[in-house]
Structure 1
Amino acid sequence: MHLPAVLLLSAVAATPAQIANPGFEMIADGDAPAAWTPAPGHQPAALTTEAPRSGERAACIVGDGQPRAWRQTLAQPATRVYTASGWFRARGLRLGPRDYARFYFHILYKDRPYSDATQIYRDIPAGTYDWTRFSVRLVPQTQWPIDQIWVTVAAQASAGTLDFDDLELGPATALGGTLSMEWANGLKPRILADMTQATPREALSPRLRRGHWKVIDYAAGNIEGKMVWASEETGAPPLTIPLNATGWHAVYLGLADPASLGCRVLARLTRDRAYVPRTRARGALEEVLFRVDDLTGQSLHIAQQPDGMRADAGLAYVKLVPLTPEEVARVRADRAETAHRRLVATIDGFSYIYSRRPTTEEDLLLETETYRDSDFGTLILQMSGADMVNYPSSIGEMHGQDLDDFARQGDRYYAEAIRELAAKKINPTKTLIEGAHRVGMQVHVSVRTAAWVHTEPLSDFFGSRFYDQHPEWRCRDRDGTVVARMSFAVPEVRAHLVSVLREAVSFGADGANILFARGVPVILYEKPFLDLFQQRYQEDALKLPETDPRIRELRAELLTQFLREVRQMLDEEAARRGDGKRLALSIFCLANEADNLEYGLDIRHWSREKLVDLVLPYLGAGGSKARAYDLAFFREVCAPAGIPVKPTLVAWSTPDLDDMMHRAVELYDAGADGLTIWDANSGADRGDRWAVTSRLGHIEDVRRLAEEGAPMPPVLRFGRLGDLRVDGRYSQNWGF
């Protein structure tokens, strides 16, 4: 079923939304501000003449335990994405467990019940602060024209006052096409809602059936169609959906999760070499951006995750929004602008195999295809550990190949997958290097300097033969306790890791990365270090305090020597290639100078000697004491040498998008040249998260987003599934 959705246009008002009396200057009868009324269930707010932000008055809510508010109704505004902002001042504002202070908006739709209204708000913080601007992005549903917008400032506080002034509502700035209404033709899409047009038709079934997609009739909003759905156990084959489109379009997927079981759909165009994932429908229909591209001669291909930790998949519709010539030019210019590509991503070389069990080049390339047309310009590609690699090697080793039992299911997936890939002569590291190059990224292959062995019961899987064969080269603490590290005071240890890197760089990488941030120290009080110290200073380091500067100086000298050895290897590889290009050396280090020097990481010296080309500080590494990045230090020592500094945000430990954006702005303002996103592909399948993460190199856009809040994908409630209404007063599932 193809729904053009142009019926919206006749009902869409051309009048822009504009708040009347936004500064509360005009007074109506009864001393209330003109155009404002109390919200239902609330007492009137008040007015104040005490130091308004502008004019002679501001609105005021006194914290007396009563719910108070001013509300204004905007009639028949244009249907589009809006940004609302206002200025707020708090003086001793105290909010108890049931209290609130909110800048609140209701979007009501023409001829739709209140239950379909979109509600959006921004919490206003308690405390004491001067006039501060707070903003929020208003994203309406796309299938109905807006009838009214209710603008409300409401609070119930136990003490203090909240003043507000100069409220605004205006068109939102487009942010990469995340929302279909950002485009000029966003309200004139072509919607493909009948998934039975997909091929092969024999892969479709009206019932749950192994190896088939279940077809389900549905209605949601003004869309009626036939979705396809498959469970994690189904093993359904890929489907091809003809788009029959020419020219540039924004393509959106209507992810379907009718039973709150989760949803993960893989999608690609005909020309693509790999799928990319889109996920999370939250028990409803969630519209997420898939791609902005020229669709001439292209079909859409969808699939389930073929192996590993599988997931349910459902697709209800495909939305195609044609771009205007001006929009096409803007998209192309933005993609050609390399200044935005200031982001660094990491892939650990293990987790994606552990979870997905990829056994083909297409399966592997999902990891890099994700970064196409994003702000990521550099990939730090780990092979898995110190000398743990995911390909046949005479230097490193493929873990799990001698086991028939595994502590975790994912470890078995990993061992089986790399064995199958090796049998097919497919090298995962080489494949991802080539895939990253195809999407415009530079690649630094990376070793974890301390990842030699794991605690029980994982030691059989993660143990290193090199570590096992050379107990004399392990690190030891002052009391003689063996520490699970190999000492960089030993030339053979350094040479072993240089050889691991040399092999990986030879696959076509653009440089090497040393991951010091995972596992310092790598030099302690083992005999090789003690002998060097005795030879140098004629003293026993064990009889000196740990703070003796000579101990740290010798550690730093040894780690500097290691970097020189890596640098020499890179120069030799560059000479072998003969293309005149320098191979880069990047490092992950700790967050400030003191922590780095504690473990022999002399960033100041490395910068002066120009040993490194890119510095990636990491906050929160084991053994560190820093609670914040000292970017002033890094700028001081790295900027004179022209070395970019890109501090790290960890994708899976910053689930709150607003927090991620605010932290990004703080780091840019402190002098960061870019950002490193650790495990950037963690959450890349979520439309809302990737809309933010993939564009963190657009600094001014990030500033706006940090103020307005992240754009959330539109969500539609199902009205009908099969022949059963599911939006009534009584849930059909209450009996289970």
Structure 2
Amino acid sequence: MTRRTLILSGAAAAGAQSREALYLSNLDRCQPASALSRKPRRGHWRMLDYEAEGIKGVMLVAGQNTGAPEIRYAPAVTGRHEIWFGLRSYSGVDQSQLDVRLSGDKAFTRVIHRGEDRGRLDEYYWKTADLAGQEIVFRQRRRQLVPGDPESVANPCAGAWLAYIKLVPAGGTAERHEKRLYAHHDAWSYTYEFRPTTVEEIRSELEPFRDTDFSRIYWEGGMGDRMYLPTRTGVPATDHWIEDPYRVGDRLAAETWQAWKRAGIDPFRTALEHARSMGLEFHATYRPAGFHFPVPEDEWNTGGLYDRHPEWRGRDKQGRVTPRLSYAYPEVRKAALGFIGEMLAYPVDGVCIAYNRRPPLVEYEPPVVEAFRKKTGLDATKLDDRDPRWLRSRAEVLTAFMRELRAVAGAKPVTAIVMRNEAENLYFGMDLEAWIREGLVDTIVPYTSAERLLSTADSWENPADLDFFVRITRGTKCELAPNMMPRVMPPETYLRRANGIYRLGVDRLFFWDTNARYDFSPSWSILRRLGHKEEVRAWARSGSRAVARPGRKLLKLGDWDLTYATPG
């Protein structure tokens, strides 16, 4: 059934006008027809009749064991349209997921339904595109767990419930973007989750940023001596020496990197080139504390610098060895700069140091304790841990590293992801005011306002928590880009946090692990255009109303009347 109705579209563009929407609910028209079945069959999409408020049609369903093939739908329209999908999930632990692309696209994108109500169809905005001559291509998501057998039934699939496609005419004017947003991608978690082995799958990780307010992607290239690119001197992410990976995802990640190596695929270069093709700046990101990890990741750096140079390890206040390499040793800083240099050998737009993971980088190592004693005549091990004289002296280590980094990076912008306030930064050896004063950093990203870098806590609920960062960057060439946490938030929370930050005069926003956020839910529809400061302010002035979550009640599914409810 093809249905036309007049609606108020709550599309990605705020202030959308009333437009005639085309509902394509006859999904039994998908091709090839041989991929469709009225009964549940492995390797087929199940066609299921349904009725919902104001619409009825044929839904496509694929289960966790189905292994449904790629199918195409020809919408037979021309011109620019917003493309929406009517989705359902079976339950909270079986979130409906689809890989989607247009026939002219270079890569799929991943749409994840976050709804909990099985009696509702939610409408998710995907993107706006000219549909002349285009088909919409769908693919069930499958995770290959069985080595060497991608078709095995033991490879679990994500459930999928697609009820209809909604098309809304968008006119000839392209959506305006205000490029204030910065995204981060850890370049590893998708290998753990999905086992990608092709160039296309790497591109898919970047496609959601197309036609959004994002201007930069911070893509990780390494941590410590573990590198996420074809490395000359570091430890590769192939993990081929690990006989018994602890988690399934660890094995899948290793298989991914080994497959890329065999195929001659450089994921770092692939990501860089695709980001550039989309108009995104590409900033290489490095975790300086990644030379050693706790169990069960302790095998990741086998044979690396931590194993080969125990004399470079950290020391605590009592002189005991700690499980990390210390930047108090010039040799460690030189090694880190060498790994960063491997990333800078690519035509990247900047470099970022992610200090927000596994601090500290300097403790009570003999060189830094002795330097303090010579300068002050005091024994640092006898002072309070937070004695400002000691902390200022110890901070000279990372200031030296930042000077060395600036020499290596040259004119390329340097970003630092840092702690929550002045005291915590100084405690972990970071004198941000000195870095800014000497021109060693171009962008400061406070990771969170929560203690101990807690990723699950709300950040910047009180915008005044950013006062220190606003003060030290005001009137300088260093910009401030606060990070918003946690990774997943309701759309209203994104708007509220952004409004509070913008009111401080801050002009940039940062999002750690954006690959955990771009699900095309209502939250992503807000986040993707959160650079529109005036829209954010207008929302706040209008009373911070709830963001529309378009959809409709599901009335009948197959032969079951969903208005007739019984327990169990």
Task: Give 1:634's aligned residue.
Answer: 469
Task: Give 1:47's aligned residue.
Answer: none
Task: Give 1:567's aligned residue.
Answer: 406
Output the CA distance in 1 between the equivalents of 2:133 and 2:218: 35
Are residues 1:411 and 2:243 paired? Answer: no
- Determine if contact 1:453/1:462 at 8 Å carries over to the other structure: yes
Task: Give 1:697's aligned residue.
Answer: 531
Are residues 1:396 and 2:204 paired? Answer: no
The superposition leaves residues 372-393 of structure 1 with CA deviations (integer Å, 9 ceiling, x where unpaired) of 1111111121235322223331
Are residues 1:207 and 2:39 paired? Answer: yes
Task: Give 2:136's aligned residue.
Answer: 300
Task: Give 1:655's aligned residue.
Answer: 489
- Determine if contact 1:434/1:508 at 8 Å carries over to the other structure: no
Are residues 1:713 and 2:549 paired? Answer: yes
- Determine if contact 2:421/2:449 at 8 Å carries over to the other structure: no
3-state SS, counterpart of residue 296 of structure 1:
coil
Instruction: Measure how far apart 1:600 and its partner are.
Output: 2.3
1:450 to 267, 289, 313: 289
Are residues 1:679 and 2:517 paired? Answer: no
Instruction: Measure how far apart 1:258 and its partner are.
Output: 5.5
3-state SS, counterpart of residue 493 of structure 1:
helix
The superposition leaves residues 28-87 of structure 1 with CA deviations (integer Å, 9 ceiling, x where unpaired) of xxxxxxxxxxxxxxxxxxxxxxxxxxxxxxxxxxxxxxxxxxxxxxxxxxx647xxxxxx
- Determine if contact 1:390/1:427 at 8 Å carries over to the other structure: no
Instruction: Measure how far apart 1:359 and its partner are.
Output: 0.9
1:496 to 332, 335, 359: 335
Instruction: Measure how far apart 1:292 and its partner are.
Output: 1.1
- Determine if contact 1:269/1:299 at 8 Å carries over to the other structure: yes
Instruction: Measure how far apart 1:420 and its partner are.
Output: 0.8
Output the CA distance in 1 between the equivalents of 2:42 and 2:563: 32
Provide closer, same or farther for how the CA distance between residues 285 and 623 of structure 1 changes in structure 2, counting only shifts above 3 A: closer
Are residues 1:244 and 2:81 paired? Answer: no
Instruction: Measure how far apart 1:522 and its partner are.
Output: 0.9
Q: 1:499-510 counterparts in 2 under 5 A?
A: 499-510=338-349
Task: Give 2:151's aligned residue.
Answer: none
- Determine if contact 1:517/1:590 at 8 Å carries over to the other structure: yes
Deviates more, 1:344-353 or 1:376-385: 376-385
Instruction: Measure how far apart 1:684 and its partner are.
Output: 1.4
- Determine if contact 2:11/2:82 at 8 Å carries over to the other structure: no
Q: Which amino acid aligns with 1:695?
A: R
Output the CA distance in 2 between the equivalents of 1:473 and 1:259: 51
TM-score for the superposition, normalised by structure 1: 0.69
Provide closer, same or farther for how the CA distance between residues 310 and 365 of structure 1 changes in structure 2, counting only shifts above 3 A: farther
The superposition leaves residues 91-116 of structure 1 with CA deviations (integer Å, 9 ceiling, x where unpaired) of xxxxxxxxxxxxxxxxxxxxxxxxxx
Output the CA distance in 1 between the equivalents of 2:300 and 2:387: 39
Instruction: Measure how far apart 1:601 and its partner are.
Output: 1.2
Output the CA distance in 2 between the equivalents of 1:490 and 1:175: 54
Instruction: Measure how far apart 1:484 and its partner are.
Output: 2.4
Task: Give 1:65's aligned residue.
Answer: none
Output the CA distance in 2 between the equivalents of 1:375 and 1:622: 29
Task: Give 2:168's aligned residue.
Answer: 321
3-state SS, counterpart of residue 505 of structure 2:
coil
Output the CA distance in 1 between the equivalents of 2:394 and 2:21: 63
- Determine if contact 1:607/1:638 at 8 Å carries over to the other structure: yes
Are residues 1:727 and 2:562 paired? Answer: yes
TM-score for the superposition, normalised by structure 2: 0.89
- Determine if contact 1:198/1:240 at 8 Å carries over to the other structure: yes
Unaligned runs of at least 5 residues, structure 2: 145-155
The superposition leaves residues 522-571 of structure 1 with CA deviations (integer Å, 9 ceiling, x where unpaired) of 11112232344455556543344444544323322221221121112122
The superposition leaves residues 460-506 of structure 1 with CA deviations (integer Å, 9 ceiling, x where unpaired) of 24667211211111111111232222111111111111111111222
The superposition leaves residues 146-191 of structure 1 with CA deviations (integer Å, 9 ceiling, x where unpaired) of xxxxxxxxxxxxxxxxxxxxxxxxxxxx76347xx93432xx2222
Residues matched between the structures, number? 544
Provide closer, same or farther for how the CA distance between residues 242 and 624 of structure 1 changes in structure 2, counting only shifts above 3 A: closer
Output the CA distance in 2 between the equivalents of 1:593 and 1:490: 25
- Determine if contact 1:274/1:362 at 8 Å carries over to the other structure: yes
Unaligned runs of at least 5 residues, structure 1: 9-78, 82-173, 572-581
Output the CA distance in 1 between the equivalents of 2:495 and 2:301: 36
Task: Give 1:380's aligned residue.
Answer: 218
- Determine if contact 1:383/1:429 at 8 Å carries over to the other structure: yes
The superposition leaves residues 320-368 of structure 1 with CA deviations (integer Å, 9 ceiling, x where unpaired) of 12234xxx32x34x13xxxx21111111122121111111111111211
Task: Give 2:446's aligned residue.
Answer: 617
Instruction: Measure how far apart 1:708 and its partner are.
Output: 3.3
Instruction: Measure how far apart 1:697 and its partner are.
Output: 1.0
Q: Which amino acid aligns with 2:97?
A: R
Are residues 1:427 and 2:266 paired? Answer: yes
The superposition leaves residues 259-311 of structure 1 with CA deviations (integer Å, 9 ceiling, x where unpaired) of 66420112111222111122224323221111112112211111122435741
Identity of aligned residues (%): 32
Output the CA distance in 1 between the equivalents of 2:104 and 2:423: 51
1:589 to 403, 418, 421: 418
Output the CA distance in 2 between the equivalents of 1:501 and 1:219: 57
Task: Give 2:99's aligned residue.
Answer: 266
Are residues 1:370 and 2:208 paired? Answer: yes
Instruction: Measure how far apart 1:672 and its partner are.
Output: 1.9
1:350 to 188, 200, 221: 188
Output the CA distance in 2 between the equivalents of 1:290 and 1:656: 18
Deviates more, 1:687-696 or 1:375-384: 375-384
3-state SS, counterpart of residue 379 of structure 1:
strand
Output the CA distance in 1 between the equivalents of 2:309 and 2:51: 66
The superposition leaves residues 640-679 of structure 1 with CA deviations (integer Å, 9 ceiling, x where unpaired) of 2221101111242x53333332222111112322111111
- Determine if contact 2:289/2:361 at 8 Å carries over to the other structure: yes
Q: 1:28-43 counterparts in 2 under 5 A?
A: none
Provide closer, same or farther for how the CA distance between residues 404 and 236 of structure 1 changes in structure 2, counting only shifts above 3 A: farther
Output the CA distance in 2 between the equivalents of 1:551 and 1:482: 20
Structure possessing the higher radius of gyration over alpha carbons:
1
Output the CA distance in 1 between the equivalents of 2:124 and 2:44: 24
Q: Which amino acid aligns with 1:632?
A: D
Q: 1:466-481 counterparts in 2 under 5 A?
A: 466-481=305-320
Provide closer, same or farther for how the CA distance between residues 413 and 676 of structure 1 changes in structure 2, counting only shifts above 3 A: same
Provide closer, same or farther for how the CA distance between residues 719 and 481 of structure 1 changes in structure 2, counting only shifts above 3 A: same
- Determine if contact 1:401/1:415 at 8 Å carries over to the other structure: yes
Output the CA distance in 2 between the equivalents of 1:690 and 1:548: 44
Provide closer, same or farther for how the CA distance between residues 322 and 658 of structure 1 changes in structure 2, counting only shifts above 3 A: closer
Output the CA distance in 2 between the equivalents of 1:356 and 1:240: 23
Provide closer, same or farther for how the CA distance between residues 479 and 436 of structure 1 changes in structure 2, counting only shifts above 3 A: same
Question: RCO (CA 8 Å, sep 6+): is it higher in 1 or 2?
Answer: 2
Task: Give 1:285's aligned residue.
Answer: 121
Output the CA distance in 2 between the equivalents of 1:698 and 1:227: 36
Provide closer, same or farther for how the CA distance between residues 476 and 213 of structure 1 changes in structure 2, counting only shifts above 3 A: same
Deviates more, 1:260-269 or 1:617-626: 617-626
Provide closer, same or farther for how the CA distance between residues 421 and 709 of structure 1 changes in structure 2, counting only shifts above 3 A: farther
Q: Which amino acid aligns with 2:468?
A: F
Deviates more, 1:451-460 or 1:310-319: 451-460
3-state SS, counterpart of residue 719 of structure 1:
strand
Provide closer, same or farther for how the CA distance between residues 321 and 659 of structure 1 changes in structure 2, counting only shifts above 3 A: closer
Provide closer, same or farther for how the CA distance between residues 376 and 357 of structure 1 changes in structure 2, counting only shifts above 3 A: same
